[in-house]
Structure 1
Amino acid sequence: MTETALFDSECFQTTDGEIAIVNLNSARLRSWSRFYQDPHHPGAAETVLEHEQLTAQFASDLSALDRMEAFGEQLGHLDASSPRAMLIQAQIASALHRFSDARDYLAQAGLGGAPSEDVKRILLSVDQACGSHLEEVLDERRGIVARTGRFEDRVALGALLADVGDFNDADEIYRKALREYQDVSPFPVAWVCFQLGMLWGELVPEPQLARAEHWYRKAVVSLPCYVRARVHLAEILSATDRIVEAEATLRPALPSGDPEVSWRLADLFSGEGRDDEAVEQLETARSGFEALLNSHLLAFADHGAEFYAGSGNDPARALELAQINLKNRPTVRAFQQTHTIALAAGETCAAAEILAAATMRWGSIVPLRLSSVARGSPESREGAVA
């Protein structure tokens, strides 16, 4: 079954979002079954990883991260030294934000004879996620798009353009990807719409909330269970005093167990004077963040820092997490977040050091906007859509 989706005056059909999630779960279980039957069959392990990444990103099943980690351990026992296994291990490490491990796996894969294009493709993503060699990565991304014109290559280029502050070019690339999309899966469509919402609502120096809301709504229409899109949409609704609609947007996402949902509901309830409900949701959020940080610290350090810098009300914990995230991936947004949190925590010396390091690293590439806390980057908890 399909439903018509309208984007930028382009009309095309995508599979109903709820049906797509059911289909994804069925496909995921089948891929695991095929892997267990023959772990060495070409493509079996790669398909498991692809389905688990999609599940984590779009079905809001945070246990998929645990399954990916366990899957990497299984591969280590089954086929530890093969270049193919090393490439998969690198992708798993990258998805969990263990970027140093990912680079080690890629180096081993290259030495073992893995196709250089496969190694380079993953390394580009790691460099982009870490804010490393962005000028070179940008040249590579432009060249790839010129050669292939593929949807996923355009989206990767759009994300990088946003990272380096070329917001209008990023918008154009994203919208072109949508206009030329030829498949029926709603996942890539929802992903790009979310990216466009982030672009205009979070990344530009002066957010354009109406424009961001437009794209977040399209992401939710394409994929109703897309929790991150619901959270960001609800934030805009709350900021523009549409509290009832914001709550209605968040409530369907509560079963996901994502602590950001409880956090945003707590803020809504607090603003409405519903103190008991606010306390309950805030404690649920705190517990949820700590569980995720205990399991996957690097993947959630930026989100945890944001929580503790805000409603979590623990500046020291916020700064600790922000510094962990900054060390792991020294991107523009990581510098922004850590600088702002350091100031809020009264750590002026640390803030000055962060500002100096940020200016040295990024001053020649993009203007730093260190006056506001940056939300988690678009890559956070999000895998690349293949």
Structure 2
Amino acid sequence: MTSGPVPGDHAPVTTNDTVALVNLSAQIEGLAAPRQGAEPGTPFAVAQRAVLVDLLTLRGHLLGRVSDYDHAARIAERLVRDAPSDPMALLARAHSRATLHRFAEAMADIDAAGRAGSAQAVLDGERAGILQAVGCHAEARTLIGRAAPRQSGFTVLGARAVLHAERGEAAEAEQVFDEALRTYQGVSPFPLAQLHYRRGVMWMREGDLPAARTWFEAARRRVPGYAPATGHLAEVDLLSGDPAAAVSRLRPLVETSDDPEYASRLALALRVLGGHQEALRWRDRAAERYDDLVLRHPEAYADHAADFWLMVGADADRGIHLALRSLVMRRTTRSHALVRPVPGGEPDVRAAQPPGPCG
């Protein structure tokens, strides 16, 4: 079964989304099963577990499962313990750490992989992703260009499109997004769904809700179970004055995802509809989950928790504290935006900021 092109999507036909997700879970289960003769530190075992880390991370992103990120992190730590000088093991742990926004540690793993013999083009691509995530766009652009000759056209163009989008260069990003779609030669729907999603995020940031909806819907046509796209569509519904549609999208999602962001959005949509008692239940569930995640993964969830307490949790002091904490850890546009609109004036965050990460 296949999934055909969508309006505005010039990419080729890909594997049916349901089949692709089933295959992804089957791959994860197969790789997770113990194999006779595969000793932990052997190249076969290292390669097997490194792929498992990446597949768990992918499924965690697609389905909104923090539990998959946690599982990937545990495997990656054991992998490096068993094969401390294997570049594949080190890069697998770098991927897992970067997913949880532990960027300095991820960079240390990439550096170690370089010393262990990993190819320079691979290292450049890995470093570019992290530099982009922390807002070092000029440095990321240089590394993307340097790695380009040894990467697929889709990978390079996708990275450049997202970089333009994050720099606020929407017109340039649109051209490169289109070019990336035209170069895609794979059969998996996941890379296309992720690219559509990032395009939707760009238009959401630009305040163009119809364009954002178009691309979030395109992502969901490729992968209907795509949690981040569904969550953002609910946000578009709410901002467009249709909280009932937002609730309809979010109810199934909060039953399958353990990411508290969706419970938080459901609480907000229910409150707009007047369902205050049910909204309170989902608000409390989100609060409990955020408290746990901020303790275990502060780099990844402090900013989301800050947004929750400022918008849904109705605790401005707690929200501002977490926003400042997030800004210290990761000086991005989102982090700065969280601390700027503070009632009673802007807090002075300059003293709390460490030296910039871009050198």
Q: Normalized against structure 2, the TM-score is what?
A: 0.89
Distance in 2, matches of 1:286 and 1:113, equals: 44
8 Å contact from structure 2 (residues 13, 187) kept in 1: yes
Partner of 2:6: 6
- The percentage of counterpart residues that share the same residue type is 27
- What is the aligned residue count? 352
* Superposition deviation, residue 325 in structure 1: 2.2
After alignment, is 159-168 or 41-50 more displaced?
Answer: 41-50
Q: 1:19 to 1:81 in 2, by over 3 A?
A: same
- Is 2:108 aligned against 1:104? yes
* Superposition deviation, residue 54 in structure 1: 0.8
* Superposition deviation, residue 84 in structure 1: 3.4
Distance in 2, matches of 1:112 and 1:88, equals: 14
Could you tell me which runs of 5 or more consecutive residues in structure 2 were left unpaired when the two chains were aligned: none
Distance in 2, matches of 1:319 and 1:100, equals: 24
Distance in 1, matches of 2:219 and 2:35, equals: 32
The amino acid across from 2:182 in the alignment is R
* Superposition deviation, residue 197 in structure 1: 0.8
- Is 2:223 aligned against 1:223? yes
* Superposition deviation, residue 145 in structure 1: 4.4
Distance in 2, matches of 1:276 and 1:349, equals: 34
Displacement over 6 Å in runs of 4+: none
Matched residue SS, 2:168: coil
Distance in 2, matches of 1:75 and 1:9, equals: 39
Deviations 1:37-58 (A, max 9, x none): 3442342232112211111111
Deviations 1:312-349 (A, max 9, x none): 12222222222232222212332222333xx23x4634
After alignment, is 60-69 or 317-326 more displaced?
Answer: 317-326
Given candidates 36, 40, 43, the residue that maps to 1:41 is 43
8 Å contact from structure 1 (residues 90, 105) kept in 2: yes
Q: 1:347 to 1:101 in 2, by over 3 A?
A: farther
Could you tell me which runs of 5 or more consecutive residues in structure 1 were left unpaired when the two chains were aligned: 363-386
Partner of 2:54: 50
Structure number with higher relative contact order (C-alpha < 8 Å, ≥ 6 residues apart):
1
Deviations 1:50-72 (A, max 9, x none): 21111111122221111122112
Q: How does 1:332-343 map to 2 (within 5 A)?
A: 332-340=333-341, 343=342
Matched residue SS, 1:123: helix
The amino acid across from 2:159 in the alignment is A
Deviations 1:8-65 (A, max 9, x none): 2636322222222111111011122367834423422321122111111112222111
8 Å contact from structure 1 (residues 35, 44) kept in 2: no
Distance in 1, matches of 2:345 and 2:85, equals: 46
The amino acid across from 1:273 in the alignment is G
Deviations 1:139-185 (A, max 9, x none): 33245447755212211111111222212111221222123222221
- Is 2:86 aligned against 1:82? yes
Distance in 2, matches of 1:165 and 1:96, equals: 24
After alignment, is 135-144 or 276-285 more displaced?
Answer: 135-144
Matched residue SS, 1:313: coil
Distance in 2, matches of 1:361 and 1:69, equals: 27
Distance in 1, matches of 2:258 and 2:94, equals: 27
Partner of 1:200: 203
Partner of 1:322: 323
Distance in 2, matches of 1:35 and 1:118, equals: 29
Q: How does 1:345-364 map to 2 (within 5 A)?
A: 346=344, 348-350=346-348, 353=350
Partner of 1:234: 234
- Is 2:248 aligned against 1:248? yes
Partner of 2:176: 173
8 Å contact from structure 2 (residues 53, 73) kept in 1: no
- The alignment yields a C-alpha RMSD, in angstroms, of 2.6
Distance in 2, matches of 1:9 and 1:83, equals: 37
Distance in 1, matches of 2:345 and 2:318, equals: 13
Q: 1:160 to 1:77 in 2, by over 3 A?
A: same
Distance in 2, matches of 1:180 and 1:76, equals: 35
The amino acid across from 2:58 in the alignment is L
- Is 2:167 aligned against 1:164? yes
8 Å contact from structure 2 (residues 53, 76) kept in 1: no
Distance in 2, matches of 1:349 and 1:297, equals: 21
* Superposition deviation, residue 311 in structure 1: 0.7
8 Å contact from structure 2 (residues 243, 270) kept in 1: no
Q: How does 1:369-384 map to 2 (within 5 A)?
A: none
Partner of 2:122: 118
